[in-house]
Amino acid sequence: MPNQQITIKEAQKKVDEWISTHGVRYFSELTNMAILTEEVGEVARIISRQYGEQSFKNKEKDKQLSDELADVLFVVICLANQTGVDLTKAFEKNMEKKTKRDNKRHKENKKLKSEK
């Protein structure tokens, strides 16, 4: 199953099933927002050490970016589930918005053009 791809809708269902099987209930939206902030901080910590100038502490060396990103995704899905957001529809709508708004903006951004 590790190589099996799932849709966003399936991921939302899987998280909901996990909560009802392994948890008592969803944490409150405010608690999940705090947890999301913590998880994003863990991603930032790894990025700053792996790609930035900071170095890992000995106890941090086993932390995996993929695992921390998955933690962020899990909490985002929890928040979507408990607030009634269909992430598939929301993502599709968001991509349409970005495409319309940023159709030429990034291509015309001189800061993004590679130097020759």
> Among 25, 2, 22, 12, which residue's Cα sits nearest to residue 88?
12
**Which pLDDT belongs to residue 2?**
65
**Which pLDDT belongs to residue 10?**
98
**Which pLDDT belongs to residue 115?**
57
Q: What CATH number is given for 8-86 in this structure?
A: 1.10.287.1080
pLDDT digits (tens, 9 = 90+) for 11-66: 999 999 999 999 989 999 999 999 999 999 999 999 999 999 888 887 777 889 99
Using an 8 Å Cβ cutoff, are 54 and 48 in contact? yes
- Domain boundaries, given as residue ranges, for the chain: 8-86
pLDDT digits (tens, 9 = 90+) for 81-112: 999 999 999 999 999 999 999 888 888 888 88
Is the pLDDT confidence value at 1 over 70? no
pLDDT average, residue stretch 62-79: 96
Give the global pTM.
Answer: 0.85
Mean pLDDT of the chain: 92
**CA distances for 84 relative to 69, 79, 81, 115, angstroms:** 22, 8, 5, 46
- Please count the helices (runs of H) and the strands (runs of E) in the chain: 4, 0
**Which pLDDT belongs to residue 84?**
98
Is the pLDDT confidence value at 116 over 80? no
Q: Determine the Cα–Cα distance for residues 3 and 7; give it in Å rounded to an integer.
A: 13
**Which pLDDT belongs to residue 73?**
98
